[in-house]
Chain A
């Protein structure tokens, strides 16, 4: 799995951080998404897919 987060699209709602806190964080200066682990281990894949599904700005894309 490879994750891409579009920081231009991101609206800083933070739902990805709640869904997958080991993979996503928010920039201190403006709360915009930061990917902590762009190729996370399999155990986190479901959480990442959930984060992508609930992202209100469709800013997270996942390729397998």
Chain B
């Protein structure tokens, strides 16, 4: 096997008598595994020419927990807590993606109330995840206070989730066939109240950070992903939309009941900077928060009393076959490739296509030529969660 250093040395500068005094070489610098801007344990080996990045090589695997292997030894329900731990900031969306794959193979009918509550839950989780992205991105760029505002609001969502599901971060709440628990009327009222409050807060965030002169200087025209790069590397979610392409699975390939909902898909328009830069990716997330609030309000208006659990056999055995199910998560599209051989209560193979894994592979493409500080801004703007990169 090749050693990790066999990646092709850059050409050594020619040394002759005149230039011997001026010889230069690339400096290797490790960003991470413990680095505030990597939001977890990601090591990026950067080769710098003074302040300019010449190469960036991501080294993954520090958080590899063999989730795909473990799930081959567990029954279909037992996998759900493991799927939670992929993207621990958006666990509900991850659960939903996996559960949809199993339900498709099982042919389960999910009750309407459960579908609507799943939408409410998933959109609340999307808001929570985007708030986290907003807060930590500001910290990466040296602004501390937005983080406190973001966590204040995120805490309110976590409180609701704690009451409904019993856990704050890793829920095991969306089950095959429906939901573990129903929302009470009081909780629904609190979700509505949160929505009203969120809209006011979102406006505050724009004043606080989005239109801040320093923030714009740090992010506009920095780390530009062209649209062609996005397709070449398979980027999805806010990265693709930030580059100005209007693509959202909830709109273009609707799953669950999303086709009944009326919402916009925000894209990076380049009103500041240009489409595909850090500022546009950031603003797409902030505008998605408002769209999520719209969806939650519509879902609550559609709610009718009923059961939240469909009919599911006690022991789940899936027929022989395979599915690839996509769903729109806060960080991009989650793909679940589930293979079943029939007559078995464990998945034969479960492959998770995680959005961040794809986005990390884009870093070597954009890094060359950037300043180190801009590279930090770029890494922050793709909103990595290492749990799902390493699985």
Q: Do A and B come from one complex?
A: no
Chain B residues packing against A (C-beta within 8 Å): none
Residues of A at under 8 Å CB distance from B?
none
